[in-house]
Amino acid sequence: MLKKIFLSIAISILSTVSLFAQCAMCRATVENNISDGSSAVGAGLNNGILYLMVMPYIIISSIVYLWYRKTQKEKQALSI
């Protein structure tokens, strides 16, 4: 069961298309900079937003993995 969950999570992470989301303020800033001819600010904002979005998922998945590994070691210690 747990292998299926990890497999489905891995498939969903690896098969995603690049996502770009912006708040209203960020969007207005990007639109103003693009009209001035600078598109580097928009790419930087998108990368920052994606970085902030991904970090909680990495932290939570790391905690879940460590918890799972600990419980597996405890089960092996009890079965011996």
Q: For residues 15 and 75, which has the higher predicted lDDT (pLDDT)?
A: 75
Instruction: Please state the length of the chain.
Output: 80
In three-state secondary structure terms, 55 is helix
pLDDT of residue 22: 59
pLDDT of residue 10: 81
pLDDT tens for each residue of 3-62: 888 888 887 777 666 555 556 777 777 777 777 766 666 677 777 778 888 989 999 999
Name the average pLDDT for the chain: 79
Judge contact between 33 and 39, C-beta under 8 A.
Answer: yes
Phi, psi angles (nearest 5°) of residue 20: -130, 115
pLDDT of residue 70: 94
Q: How far apart are CA 47 and CA 53, in angstroms?
A: 10
